[in-house]
Amino acid sequence: MKKILVLDDTQSMRSLLSMTLKQSGHTVIEAIDGIDGLSKLKLNPDVDLIFTDLNMPNRNGIEFIKDVKAIASLKSIPIVMLTTESEEQRKLEGKAAGAMAWIVKPFKVDTIQSVLEKIIS
């Protein structure tokens, strides 16, 4: 199975997504914001996929994506934005930064599974 990094400043959302991923057999690393996420990613460069929220303190999701994509050894890791934001402009910002997919919260388990299959298969 895959190693997945989950970034969200809301504990309940991190727990829900982590539980969903772990039930499918994946290993999950949790981070509370972009700074924590980048730190954990540097300690775990073998991460296969990242789910990140958009609105977080310290470094938001788009800033985090730009940070990851600026590091040669990490830039090929697929990143999925998982957020309450659904505005087209925000989606375009995420895509421009390097997000491969955009999922609007609240998410459905089958949506997460579908995105996982498409991206890491």
pLDDT at 121 over 80: no
Could you tell me the residue range of the domain that residue 92 belongs to?
3-120
pLDDT in tens, 6-16: 999 999 999 99
pLDDT given at position 28 = 98
Q: Which residue has the tokens 């990094």?
A: 5
Residues paired with residue 104 on neighbouring β-strands, in sequence order: 83
The CATH number of whichever domain residue 41 belongs to comes to 3.40.50.2300
User: Would you say 18 and 25 are in contact if contact means Cβ atoms under 8 Å apart?
Assistant: no
Rounded percentage of the chain residues whose pLDDT exceeds 90: 87
* 106 pLDDT tier (thresholds 50, 70, 90): confident
Element (H, E) at 3: strand 3-7
Q: In this predicted model, what pLDDT tens digit does every residue of 66-91 receive, in sequence order?
A: 999 999 999 999 999 999 988 999 99
Determine contact, residues 9/30, Cβ cutoff 8 Å: no
- pLDDT tens, residue by residue, 20-45: 999 999 999 999 999 999 999 999 99
Our count of domains for the chain comes to 1
DSSP H or E run through 89: helix 88-97
Question: From start to end of 13-120, where are the E strands?
Answer: 27-31, 49-52, 79-83, 101-104
Angle at 69 between CA 63 and CA 70, to 5 degrees: 90
